[in-house]
Structure 1
Amino acid sequence: METDVLGAAQQMDFSLLALFARASLTVKLVVILLMLSSFWSWAIIIRKFISFRAARREAETFDQAFWSGEPLDELFEQIGTRPDGASEKIFAAGMLEWRRSHRQDGNLIAGAQSRIERSMDVAITKESEKLNNGLPFLATVGSTAPFVGLFGTVWGIKVAFEEIAISQNTSLAVVAPGISEALVATALGLLAAIPAVIFYNKLSGDADRIVGGYEAFSDEFSTILSRQLDA
């Protein structure tokens, strides 16, 4: 009897597809959820790397144009009121409020400086939301995927022990296949969580540095406008 069980275990397929096919419905749902979470996490990671690189390139290009010595009014005319780049949007928001703060006689309306700064702060907040979009999902996957995988493992082991009780055979050859199927869920949970945590920390830091650059530019631009107001 034991020899027959060992022979059947040796002939059993332990590939990932075979383990998934033999798993219970609950474990299959957990595995599918973790795989979808992992694929979506990688899609966010790749998209963020591309968008962050474009944002840094756009900020560098705009900084060169801003500090080239060209008059700000001419630069604003070239950019327009609805630019595409984040740095350009922040600059455009400040320049629009600067022009709106002038009365018909050429004098400035009181409180122009604070309104200009608030306009640029609103533009920075919008760009910050775009940069951080999707990162909360990575944080959620990183914090919950191991526990979701553990749930699948616990459920799979429960089902395996139930099958052992029904078959009334406690040999390792009978126990091992069910446990290996259950452990796949934990492995996938870690596989989804580890990259999500690593790249969440990386991308969050990158987003903070990009937004910090926007804020630094806003402060410098406000200083330039403040000098003109004082003059």
Structure 2
Amino acid sequence: MTADISFVDLILEASLLVQLVMLILMGMSVVSWAMIIKRSKVLKEATKESETFEDKFWSGADLAQIYQDVKKRKDDLSGTEEIFYSGFTEFLRLRKSNADSPAFIMEGTGRSMRVAVSREVEDLETNLPFLATVGSISPYIGLFGTVWGIMHAFIALGEVKQATLAMVAPGIAEALIATAMVYLLQFQR
């Protein structure tokens, strides 16, 4: 005995509310995957740039020369180079006006670098709040669709004198599809 119900038929025959839930879950999944792929590329690029700069920095080259090289590209800096540029710029500025206070110079340089680190971390963490929100709310949205589908299955069951599995199977199947979509979203986390 086989059923002639396909996945697409179950979606098309689902109630409007369950279809809306599935559409919302699918939309959140597509947007989330796009953000995850983009973030992955950004993080790989940041890691590569950081390693390249660290190799240059620890090579024993003159820091003033590295600074001049970085300064030429100051509009295109990111990551470790941006932190270095920010710190070295502040170091040079403070050294001119406070040459006799090395502790003050180092404190100001450190503060400037901490601000630069904070900005770079913020750039790298772009979209994380959205992804966390999607990961948190998607089970509840899917559960709502599941409960709605099962509720419709039992309402249909209560309206007949003789119940059969064929009568409740489509409602339960549409509910389980909503649940499956939740698991797809949770897989992303």
1:133 corresponds to which letter in structure 2? Answer: T
SS class of match (2:95): coil
2:11 maps to which of 20, 40, 57:
20
Find out whether 1:75 has 2:66 as its counterpart. Answer: yes
Q: Distance in 2 between matches of 1:141 and 1:25?
A: 22
Are the aligned partners of 1:82 and 1:89 in contact in 2 as well (CA < 8 Å)?
no
Unaligned runs of 5+ in 1: 1-5, 197-231
Q: Distance in 1 between matches of 2:110 and 2:8?
A: 58
1:123 maps to which of 116, 120, 130:
116
Are the aligned partners of 1:142 and 1:193 in contact in 2 as well (CA < 8 Å)?
yes
Taking the TM superposition and a 5 Å limit, the aligned residue runs for 1:191-230 are 191-196=184-189
Name the counterpart of 1:92. 85
Are the aligned partners of 2:146 and 2:175 in contact in 1 as well (CA < 8 Å)?
yes
> Structure 2 vs 1, CA of residues 24 and 115 (structure 1 numbering), >3 Å: closer, same or farther?
same
Find out whether 1:31 has 2:22 as its counterpart. Answer: yes
Name which of structure 1's ranges 72-81 and 54-63 shifts more when overlaid on structure 2.
72-81
Are the aligned partners of 2:78 and 2:120 in contact in 1 as well (CA < 8 Å)?
no
Number of residues of Structure 1 aligned to a counterpart in Structure 2: 186
- String of CA shifts for 1:130-171, please: whole Å, max 9, x gaps: 112222323222232222111101011112222333454421
Q: Distance in 2 between matches of 1:56 and 1:45?
A: 16
Deviation of 1:195 (Å): 2.0
Are the aligned partners of 1:164 and 1:175 in contact in 2 as well (CA < 8 Å)?
yes
Are the aligned partners of 1:142 and 1:194 in contact in 2 as well (CA < 8 Å)?
no
- Give TM-score, length-normalised by structure 1: 0.73
Name the counterpart of 1:227. none
SS class of match (1:103): helix
2:61 corresponds to which letter in structure 1? Answer: E
- Give TM-score, length-normalised by structure 2: 0.88
Deviation of 1:16 (Å): 2.1
SS class of match (1:102): helix
Taking the TM superposition and a 5 Å limit, the aligned residue runs for 1:58-69 are 58-69=49-60
Name the counterpart of 1:102. 95
- String of CA shifts for 1:26-74, please: whole Å, max 9, x gaps: 1111101111111112112211221111111101110111122221111
Find out whether 1:49 has 2:40 as its counterpart. Answer: yes
% identical equivalent positions? 41
Find out whether 1:145 has 2:138 as its counterpart. Answer: yes
Deviation of 1:108 (Å): 5.1
